C-alpha cells in the first residue's frame, strides 16, 4: 500500500494553507521518448490522484495530436499528496515539453520548480535533449535527481549509463535511481527521494503577490487557463489581479489546483502551483513568463525572465482549395488563442493564391500547427519551404528584415546576416565522420567534441539555422540509423554570402519558389527546382523555359517542350454529347489553372513541387 | 430530359426540334453491331456471336432495325417536322457487311420507302476488306449504295497484327477494284500511331493508300480506349502507350503527302480528292444537321435535341418488338451548349467557322499563336492551320471559355 496520506494529514496540505516547507515543486526532464509521460502516469497512480480505472497511458498529454505523436506540447502541473514518515507533503509535478522549439516554455516551467527529475532511458543513454534540458535546469539552480528509466527492458544497461550520468552531473553512479515507468518499479522510492532532496520553496507570504505564469492554455469552454507558480504573497478567489507586463487587470473567476482535474481552492500561497481563470479568451493576454500580482496590493518589481516568443522559422500556408481561405483565417484566429508563439499575416502568391505567412518557434512548431489546422479545422493546406529571418543591410546602410524570400531587396546590398544556432549532437562514435561531413556541408563550425563514454560522443557545432530547418534532422537520423540526437539553441547572427534564387516560368517569377541560399548552393537549388517543375508542369502549346536566376543571371534552365497534339482525331459516330462533356471538363480544368504569364499551371503542380518528398513522378502524358 | 424507360405510347419528341428544320439536311445512320472478331483496340458497340450469347440474332437484325425506322417516322410526324427526303445514309458498325448484301439492301429500301432518298443522295457502307466479295459489292451498288468505306487501317503486316486485324493486306487492292468496277466510290480508313509503328511503316501505309487511288481517305490517330484489350496490354507494359509527338509527326506527314497527291483536308481526319468526294454524311455531323440513328447504341440529333438508344442488341430488339422507341437517354441542349457544339464541331472543317461577332476579338491571339489562318480570321472565320488542326482542343477551349 503506497503511502497516501490520511484525511487528517491531508488537512495540513490544503491549497492556500500549505506551509512552504511541506511543498515540493519538481519537473521531469528527458529526451523525447525516454519515458517522462509514462513515469508521470505511475506517479499519478501511486499518489492516488488518478485511480487505475480512469488511468490511460500518458494521462497528461491531452491534445489528440500529442497522444498520437507521443509528445507533450503543453506543459501541465499536477498536485499530488505524498506521505513520508508521519508527514504529508504536497508535490507539484510539472510536465514540461521536451522539444527545443518549446525551449522557452521549458525554461519557464523549470523556473517554477526547485528540483528536476532527469530521466534517461537505460537502453539509450544520454541524448541531445537530455543535455539541453539538463543545462537549462542547472542554470535555474534546480536540484537534479538522476533516474535511469525502463530498467525492465532486456537491453537496459543501467551500469553503463549510470557512469555516463555521474560523469555529467557529478556525484556517484549509485546516486542514480533505477525505475521502470512501465512496471512501477522504483517509483515509490523516487517519490520519497523527491521529498528528501528537493528543497522546499521560499518566499515572503506577507509581500504583495508575485506569481510567474509558466503556461497558458486555451479551453473552448472556460477561456484561457493560466498556470502559475506563486513566489511571494497570496492569490485569492474573486480578487482583481494585474498582469505586470501589460498592466492589464482581470478578475479571478476561479483559482485552484490540478489534481489532475481542475479543483477550485481557497487560493494559492507561497510556493504553490495552480491555475487561474479570468475569462480572457486569448492566451496573448496571459503570457508565459509574465508576473501576476494583486490589484489592491501590487508588487513593484516583476519576476525576471519574461520575453516575447520570437518566431524563428517562417513559411507560407495556403488552402489547397482557394475557397477555404476564410476558413483558414478563422482557424488561425482560433489557434492563436491557444498558442502565444504563433504569428501570421496575410500573404498573396501568384502560384498559390491567398494565404498567410506564419512565424514559428521552429520546425516542430510549424508541423504541429499545420497538423492541427488540418485536423481540427478540416483544412487541406500546402506550405512553402520554411525559411529563417534575414537581416539585409544595403549599401546606404538602411536595413531590411526579410521573412519571405520574395521580399528580399533588389539593388545594392552591403551584407546579409542570418541566425545561427549552437547545436549539440550526440551519437555513437561510429558516426562521427558522417556527422562531421553533414555539418561541414551545411556550413557548420565545430566547437568541440567530447566522449561521454568509450563509444558515445558529444559534438558541438555552430550552424546557420537556415541550414538545419529543411531536412537536417531527417538526414541526421537516417545517416546514423536513428542513433544520433540533436538539440540546438539560437546563439546569434552571422554575416554570410547569401543570395536569392528566383524561379522563372517563361520569364515570369514564381514567388512561392524563391529561396535564399548560400551562394555555393544556389546552383544546386536551381537545378533541383527547375527539374522538378519540368516534370510537373503539363506541356503547353508553346515551349516553356523554366529558369533559375540569381538577380539577372540565369544559373539553371530546363525546357518544357511544346505540346503538339491534343485533338481527338478518331471516328466517333455521332456521340457528340461525350465530346461536349469533355470540353466542359477541359473548361472547368482551365478555370482551376494558375496563370503565370501565358503559362497555365495546375495548382497541383505547384503543390507537388513544394511537397518535400522529392521523387515527383512524371505526370505528363 | 430523360424519357421513361418503357414509354407506354410512342415517344414524343420535345417541342422546338422542328424549328429551322427545313434548313437542315436529314441523314440516317444505320448501326450494325456485329463483327466476326473484336479487334483489340476497338470499343465500338459491336458484338461477336459468342459475345451476344446467341440472343438477338444477326438473321433477324435487319427486320428489327426496319421496325425502328417505322417508329422513327411516326415520331417525326408527331413532332410536326416537315417531310424531308434523306440526303445521306451511312451504315456503320461493327461490320455491316457481315450481314448479307440483300439484308443491307432491305434496310436501305426501308429508308427510301419511308422518307424517300433525295436526288444524288450519298449512301455509304463500312466494310472490312475480308468481309466482302465482288458480287456483294455489285449487289450493294445495284441496291443504291454509292460509296464504300474500307477499314484498311495499315498496309504493314506487323502493324495489322498489333491491331488484331485479320485481313490480308494483299486483298485490299482487290476489294478496291471490285468496288470501283461496281461503280462505288471508295474511301479507305487508316490508323496511325499504333504502338510500335515506326514513321517509316506509316509512310509505307500512306504510300499504299495513295497507290490505290481512293476517292476519300480517313486517317485516325489510334486511341487506346479504356476497357479494351489493347488498354490492358499497355497497362501491363506489353505495348507502349501511343505518344502525342509521334502522332503529330505522323499526322503532319500524312496531311502533307495527301495534299501533295491531290487529297486536300476538309475535316481534321478526312481527306478527299474533289469536293464531291467528301463524305457529306460526315460533314452533316460537324454542321449539327439532323440525323436519326437506327440501331443499338446509335446516337441521333434533331434541332438541339440529342438522344441515344439502348446499347445492347437484346433489349433493343425487345423494345422494338414492343412497339416503342429504344431510347436510353437524351439531352435537350441549352443555347450555350448549342453554341459550344457549333464551335467544337465546326472548327474541324476546312471551310472554316464563322465565329460570330462576340468572338472575333479572340481570333488575333490564335492567329499569332499559329493556330488559325490569318486571312480568313480577318473576315471573322476561324480556319485551322496545320498546327492548329493538331491543337484543335486548345483552340476550342480558347474560343468557348
Ligand atoms: N519497457 C518500458 N517502456 C517504457 C517505459 N517508460 C516508457 N516506456 C515506453 O517508451 C515510450 C515513450 O514513453 P513516453 O512516456 O511517451 O516518453 P516521453 O516522450 O518522455 O513522454 C512509450 O512507448 C512508452 O510505453 C519503461 O519503463 N519500460
Ligand atoms: C466504326 S469503325 C469500324 C469499321 C470496320 N468495322 C473496320 O474495323 O474496318 C470505323 C473506323 O474507326 C477507326 N477506329 C476504330 N477504333 C479506333 C480507335 N480505337 N482509335 C482510332 N481509330 C479507331 C478505324 O479506322 C475504323 O475503320
Ligand atoms: S472490325 Fe471494326 S468494328 Fe469490328 S471490332 Fe474491329 S475495328 Fe471494331
Ligand atoms: Mg511525453
> Rounded distance, CA A325 to CA A319, Å?
6
Nearest ligand to the CA of A29 is 1
Least confident of A184-188, A565-569, B353-357, B362-366: A565-569
Distance B225 CA to ligand 3 centre (A): 13
Span B271-295, pLDDT tens digits: 999 999 999 999 999 999 999 999 9
Three cell numbers, residue B257: 503527302
Range of the domain at B352: 335-401
A577 to chain B, any CB pair closer than 8 A? The answer is yes
A618 touches chain B (CB under 8 A): no
- Evaluate whether residue B84 is within a structural domain: yes
| Cα dihedral sign, A585-A587-A588-A592 | positive
Least confident range of A270-279, A544-553, B9-18, B61-70: B9-18
- The residue ranking higher by pLDDT, A575 or B119, is B119
SS3 label, residue A407: helix
- How high is the pLDDT of residue A469? 86
**Length of chain B as a residue count:** 401
Is the residue at B307 inside a domain? no
Report the mean per-residue pLDDT for chain A: 88
Same domain, B263 and B342: no
- The CB of B94 under 6 Å from ligand 3? The reply is yes
Cβ(B234) to ligand 2 under 6 A? no
Q: How many CB pairs under 8 A join A and B?
A: 101
Cα of B76 from ligand 3 centre, angstroms: 32
Looking at the DSSP assignment, which residues form a beta bridge with residue A251? A240
Contacts 24+ apart (CB under 8 A), B72-77: B72/B114, B72/B292, B72/B294, B72/B325, B73/B114, B73/B115, B74/B10, B75/B10, B75/B11, B75/B12, B75/B13, B75/B325, B76/B13, B76/B292
> CB pairs under 8 A, 24+ apart, for A549-552?
A549/A501, A549/A502, A549/A503, A549/A504, A550/A499, A550/A500, A550/A501, A550/A502, A550/A519, A550/A522, A551/A410, A551/A499
Whole-number pLDDT of residue A64? 59
Q: Which chain B residues are within 8 Å of A566, Cβ to Cβ?
A: 244, 390-394
pLDDT in the model for residue A106 = 78
Q: Tell me the mean pLDDT in the region A265-282.
A: 93
The nearest CA of chain A is from the CA of B269 a distance in Å of: 6
Length in residues, chain A: 621
Which one, of B380, B360, B382, lies nearest residue B372 by Cα? B382
B92 with B165, same domain? Answer: yes
Compare A256 and A215 and report the one with higher pLDDT.
Answer: A256
pLDDT at A307 over 90: no
* Domain shared by B206 and B139, yes or no: yes
Kindly indicate the confidence band of residue A320, based on its pLDDT and cuts at 50, 70 and 90: confident
- Ligand 2 atom index nearest CA of B165: 8
Q: Using the mean position of ligand 1's atoms as its centre, give its distance from the Cα of residue A402 in Å.
A: 41
Asked if B357 and B215 sit in the same domain, the reply is: no
Residues B270 and B398 in one domain: no
pLDDT at B56: 62
Block residue for cell numbers 519540368: A534
- Residues B29 and B104 placed together within one structural domain of the fold: yes
- Give the lowest-confidence range in A216-220, A491-495, A502-506, B244-248: A216-220
Q: Is the CB of B44 under 6 A from ligand 3?
A: yes
Domain-terminating residue out of B254, B270, B286: B286
CA B354 to each of CA B20, B280, B288, B348, B358: distance values in angstroms, whole numbers, following the listed order: 19, 19, 14, 12, 11
Residue B299, pLDDT above cutoff 60: yes
Judged by a CB distance cut-off of 8 A, whether residue A247 touches chain B is no
Query: How confident is the model at residue A72, as a pLDDT?
Result: 45
Q: How many domains does chain B have?
A: 2
- CB distance B42 to ligand 2 below 6 Å: yes
Beta strands across the sheet bearing B299-302: B264-267, B270-272, B216-221, B185-192, B147-153, B117-127, B86-93, B26-32, B290-294, B299-302, B305-309, B327-332
pLDDT at A59: 63
Q: Which of A63-77, A285-299, B42-56 has the lowest mean pLDDT?
A: A63-77
Q: Is A397 on the interface with B (CB under 8 A)?
A: no
Q: Can you give the pLDDT at residue B9?
A: 44
- Ligand 3 atom having least distance to the Cα of B94: 3
| Among candidates B248, B291, B337 on the partner chain, residue whose Cβ is nearest the Cβ of A565 | B248
Ligand 3: distance of its center to the CA of B151 in Å?
A: 9
- A31 Cβ below 6 A of ligand 1: no
Position B11 scores a pLDDT of: 57
Distance (Å, whole) CA A223 – CA A230: 21
Note whether B266 and B360 are same-domain residues: no
- B369/A542 CB distance under 8 A: yes
The band of B2, judged by pLDDT with boundaries at 50, 70 and 90, is: very low
Comparing CA positions, the residue from B149, B161, B48 lying closest to residue B98 is: B48
CB contact under 8 A, B390 and A564: yes
Q: Give B221's contacts in chain A (Cβ within 8 Å).
A: 565, 568-570
Last residue of a domain, one of B271, B286, B301: B286
Please identify, by atom number, the ligand 2 atom nearest to the C-alpha of residue B224.
Answer: 19
Which residue among A570, A576, A590 sits closest to B397, beta carbon to beta carbon? Answer: A590
From CA B93, how far away is CA B34, in angstroms rounded? Answer: 7
Chain A residue with minimum CA distance to B366: A541
Which of A506, A544, A567 should be substituted to probe chain B, the one whose Cβ sees the most B Cβ atoms within 10 Å?
A567
B5 is a domain residue: no
Q: For A561, which residue in chain B has the nearest alpha carbon?
A: B245
User: Is residue B367, in this structure, part of any structural domain at all?
Assistant: yes
Q: Is the CB of B95 under 6 A from ligand 2?
A: yes
The answer, yes or no, to whether residue A542 has pLDDT greater than 90, is yes
Query: What is the reported pLDDT for A338?
Result: 74
| pLDDT at A614 (0 to 100) | 40
Pair (B249, B365) in one structural domain: no
pLDDT of B188 higher than 60? yes
pLDDT tier, B5 (very low <50, low <70, confident <90, very high otherwise): very low
Domain limit, last residue, from B286, B310, B345: B286
Model confidence band, residue B197 (pLDDT cutoffs 50, 70, 90): very high
Contact residues on chain A for B385, CB-CB shorter than 8 A: none
* Substitution site in A29, A35, A60 for ligand 1 pocket (most atoms within 8 Å of beta carbon): A35
Q: Are B306 and B287 in contact (CB under 8 A)?
A: no
**pLDDT the model gives residue A486:** 86
Q: Do B391 and A586 touch (CB under 8 A)?
A: no
Tens digits of residue pLDDT in B89-109: 999 989 999 999 999 999 999
Is the pLDDT confidence value at B263 over 90?
A: yes
> Which ligand 3 atom sits closest to the C-alpha of B93?
3
B342 to chain A, closest Cα gap in Å? 10
Q: Is residue B300 part of a domain?
A: no
Q: Do the domain assignments include residue B186?
A: yes
| Mean pLDDT for the stretch of residues A173-186 | 95
For position A616, what pLDDT does the model report? 33
Let me know whether B207 and B270 are in one domain. Answer: yes
pLDDT at A471: 78
Residues of chain B positioned with their CB less than 8 A from the CB of A586:
393, 397
Same domain, B359 and B270: no
3-state secondary structure of A589: helix
Radius of gyration for chain B, computed over Cα atoms and rounded to the nearest angstrom: 21
Same domain? B279 vs B343: no
Partner residue opposite A575 with nearest CB, options B299, B369, B394: B299
Same domain, B282 and B348: no
Report, as an integer, the average pLDDT of A580-606.
87
Average pLDDT over chain B reads 93
Q: Point out the least confidently predicted range of A318-332, B106-120, B173-187.
A: A318-332
The lowest-confidence range among A152-161, A203-212, A359-368, B67-76 is A359-368
- B240 to chain A nearest CA, in Å? 12
Share of chain B above pLDDT 90, in %: 89
**Is the Cα torsion angle A535, A536, A538, A542 positive or negative in sign?**
negative
Decide if B56 is inside a domain: yes
Asked whether residue B353 is assigned to any structural domain, the reply reads yes
Greater confidence (B110 vs A618) lies with: B110
* A536 CA to centre of own chain: 32
Looking at ligand 3, which residue's alpha carbon is closest to its atom 3?
B94
Lowest-confidence region among A591-605, B201-215, B313-327:
A591-605
Q: Domain containing B155 — which CATH number?
A: 3.20.20.70
Give the pLDDT confidence score for residue B6 in this predicted structure. Answer: 45
Confidence of residue A620 (pLDDT cuts 50, 70, 90): very low
Amino acid at each position: 500500500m503506497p503511502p497516501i496520506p490520511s484525511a487528517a494529514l491531508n488537512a495540513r496540505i490544503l491549497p492556500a494553507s500549505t506551509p512552504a516547507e511541506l511543498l515540493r515543486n519538481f519537473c521531469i526532464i528527458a529526451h523525447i521518448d525516454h519515458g517522462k509521460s509514462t513515469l508521470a502516469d505511475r506517479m499519478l497512480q501511486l499518489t492516488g490522484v488518478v485511480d487505475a480505472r480512469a488511468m490511460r497511458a500518458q494521462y497528461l498529454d491531452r491534445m489528440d495530436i500529442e497522444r498520437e505523436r507521443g509528445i507533450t506540447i503543453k506543459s501541465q502541473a499536477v498536485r499530488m499528496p505524498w506521505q513520508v514518515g508521519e508527514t504529508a507533503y504536497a508535490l507539484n509535478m510539472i510536465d514540461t515539453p521536451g522539444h527545443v522549439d518549446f525551449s522557452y516554455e521549458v525554461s519557464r516551467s523549470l523556473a517554477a520548480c526547485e528540483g528536476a527529475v532527469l530521466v534517461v532511458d537505460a537502453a539509450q543513454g544520454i541524448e541531445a535533449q537530455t543535455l539541453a534540458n539538463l543545462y537549462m535546469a542547472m542554470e535555474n539552480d534546480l536540484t537534479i535527481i538522476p533516474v535511469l528509466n525502463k530498467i525492465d527492458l532486456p537491453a537496459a544497461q543501467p551500469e553503463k549509463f549510470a557512469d555516463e550520468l555521474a560523469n555529467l552531473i557529478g556525484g556517484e553512479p549509485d546516486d542514480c535511481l533505477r525505475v521502470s515507468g512501465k512496471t512501477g518499479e522504483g517509483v515509490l522510492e523516487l517519490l520519497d527521494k523527491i521529498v528528501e532532496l528537493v528543497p522546499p520553496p521560499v518566499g515572503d507570504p506577507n509581500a504583495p503577490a508575485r506569481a510567474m505564469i509558466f503556461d497558458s492554455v486555451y479551453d473552448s469552454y472556460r477561456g484561457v487557463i493560466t498556470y502559475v507558480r506563486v513566489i511571494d504573497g497570496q492569490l485569492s478567489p474573486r480578487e482583481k489581479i494585474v498582469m505586470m507586463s501589460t498592466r492589464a487587470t482581470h478578475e479571478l473567476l476561479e483559482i485552484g489546483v490540478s489534481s489532475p482535474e481542475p479543483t477550485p481552492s481557497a487560493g494559492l500561497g507561497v510556493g504553490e502551483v495552480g491555475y487561474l481563470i479570468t475569462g480572457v479568451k486569448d492566451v496573448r493576454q496571459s503570457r508565459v513568463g509574465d508576473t501576476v500580482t494583486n490589484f489592491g496590493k501590487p508588487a513593484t518589481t516583476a519576476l525576471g525572465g519574461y520575453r516575447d516568443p520570437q518566431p524563428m522559422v517562417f513559411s507560407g500556408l495556403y488552402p489547397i482549395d482557394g475557397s477555404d481561405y476564410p476558413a483558414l483565417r478563422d482557424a488561425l484566429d482560433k489557434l492563436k488563442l491557444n498558442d502565444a508563439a504563433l504569428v501570421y499575416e496575410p500573404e498573396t502568391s501568384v502560384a498559390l493564391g491567398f494565404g498567410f505567412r506564419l512565424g514559428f518557434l521552429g520546425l516542430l512548431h510549424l508541423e504541429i500547427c499545420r497538423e492541427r489546422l488540418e485536423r481540427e479545422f478540416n483544412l487541406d493546406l500546402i506550405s512553402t519551404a520554411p525559411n529563417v529571418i534575414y537581416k539585409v543591410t544595403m549599401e546606404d546602410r538602411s536595413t531590411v528584415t526579410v521573412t519571405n524570400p520574395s521580399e528580399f531587396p533588389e539593388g545594392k546590398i552591403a551584407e546579409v546576416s542570418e541566425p545561427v544556432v549552437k547545436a549539440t549532437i550526440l551519437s555513437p562514435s561510429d558516426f562521427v565522420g558522417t556527422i562531421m561531413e553533414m555539418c561541414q556541408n551545411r556550413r557548420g563550425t565545430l566547437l568541440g567534441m567530447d566522449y561521454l563514454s568509450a563509444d558515445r560522443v558529444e559534438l558541438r557545432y555552430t550552424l546557420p539555422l537556415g541550414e538545419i530547418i529543411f531536412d537536417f534532422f531527417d538526414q541526421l537520423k537516417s545517416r546514423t540509423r536513428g542513433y544520433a540526437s540533436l538539440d540546438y539553441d539560437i546563439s546569434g547572427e552571422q554575416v554570410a554570402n547569401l543570395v536569392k534564387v528566383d524561379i522563372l516560368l517563361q520569364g515570369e517569377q514564381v514567388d512561392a519558389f524563391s529561396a535564399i541560399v548560400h551562394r555555393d548552393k544556389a546552383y544546386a537549388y536551381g537545378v533541383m527546382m527547375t527539374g522538378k517543375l519540368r516534370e510537373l508542369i503539363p506541356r503547353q502549346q508553346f515551349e516553356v523555359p523554366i529558369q533559375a536566376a540569381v538577380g539577372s543571371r540565369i544559373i539553371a534552365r530546363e525546357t518544357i517542350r511544346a505540346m503538339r497534339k491534343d485533338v481527338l482525331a478518331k471516328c466517333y459516330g455521332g456521340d457528340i454529347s461525350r465530346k461536349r462533356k469533355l470540353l466542359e471538363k477541359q473548361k472547368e480544368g482551365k478555370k482551376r489553372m494558375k496563370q503565370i504569364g501565358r503559362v497555365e499551371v495546375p495548382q497541383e503542380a505547384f503543390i507537388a513541387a513544394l511537397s518535400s518528398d522529392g521523387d515527383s513522378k512524371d505526370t505528363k502524358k | 430530359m430523360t424519357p421513361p424507360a418503357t414509354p407506354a405510347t410512342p415517344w414524343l419528341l420535345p417541342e422546338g426540334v422542328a424549328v429551322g428544320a427545313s434548313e437542315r439536311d436529314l441523314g440516317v445512320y444505320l448501326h450494325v453491331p456485329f463483327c466476326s472478331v473484336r479487334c483489340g483496340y476497338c470499343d465500338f458497340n459491336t458484338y461477336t456471336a459468342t459475345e451476344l450469347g446467341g440472343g438477338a440474332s444477326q438473321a433477324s437484325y435487319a427486320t428489327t432495325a426496319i421496325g425502328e425506322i417505322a417508329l422513327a417516322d411516326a415520331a417525326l410526324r408527331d413532332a410536326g417536322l416537315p417531310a424531308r427526303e434523306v440526303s445521306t445514309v451511312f451504315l456503320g458498325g461493327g461490320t455491316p457487311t457481315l450481314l448479307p448484301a440483300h439484308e443491307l439492301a432491305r434496310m436501305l429500301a426501308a429508308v427510301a420507302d419511308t422518307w424517300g432518298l433525295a436526288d444524288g443522295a450519298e449512301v455509304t457502307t463500312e466494310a472490312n476488306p475480308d468481309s466482302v466479295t465482288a458480287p456483294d459489292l455489285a449487289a450493294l451498288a445495284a441496291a443504291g449504295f454509292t460509296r464504300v468505306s474500307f477499314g484498311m487501317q495499315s498496309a504493314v503486316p506487323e502493324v495489322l497484327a498489333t491491331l488484331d486485324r485479320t485481313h490480308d493486306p494483299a486483298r485490299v487492292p482487290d476489294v478496291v477494284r471490285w468496288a470501283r468496277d461496281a461503280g462505288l466510290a471508295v474511301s479507305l480508313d487508316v490508323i496511325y500511331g499504333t504502338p510500335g509503328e515506326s514513321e517509316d511503316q506509316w509512310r509505307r501505309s500512306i504510300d499504299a493508300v495513295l497507290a490505290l487511288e481512293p476517292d476519300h481517305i480517313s486517317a485516325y490517330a489510334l486511341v487506346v480506349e479504356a476497357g479494351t484489350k489493347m488498354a490492358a496490354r499497355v497497362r501491363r507494359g506489353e505495348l507502349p502507350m501511343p505518344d502525342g509527338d509521334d502522332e503529330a509527326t505522323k499526322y503532319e506527314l500524312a496531311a502533307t503527302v495527301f495534299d501533295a497527291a491531290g487529297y486536300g483536308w476538309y475535316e481534321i481526319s478526312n481527306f478527299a480528292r474533289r469536293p464531291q468526294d467528301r463524305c457529306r454524311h460526315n460533314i452533316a455531323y460537324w454542321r449539327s444537321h439532323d440525323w436519326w440513328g437506327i440501331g443499338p447504341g446509335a446516337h441521333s440529333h434533331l434541332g438541339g435535341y440529342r438522344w441515344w438508344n439502348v446499347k445492347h442488341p437484346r433489349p433493343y430488339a425487345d423494345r422494338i418488338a414492343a412497339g416503342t422507341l429504344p431510347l436510353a437517354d437524351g439531352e435537350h441542349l441549352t443555347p450555350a451548349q448549342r453554341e459550344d457544339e457549333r464551335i467544337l464541331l465546326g472548327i474541324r472543317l476546312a471551310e472554316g467557322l464563322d465565329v460570330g461577332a462576340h468572338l472575333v476579338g479572340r481570333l488575333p491571339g490564335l492567329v499569332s499563336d499559329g493556330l488559325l489562318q490569318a486571312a480568313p480570321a480577318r473576315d471573322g472565320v476561324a480556319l485551322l492551320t496545320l498546327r492548329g488542326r493538331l491543337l484543335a482542343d486548345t483552340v476550342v477551349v480558347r474560343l468557348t471559355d
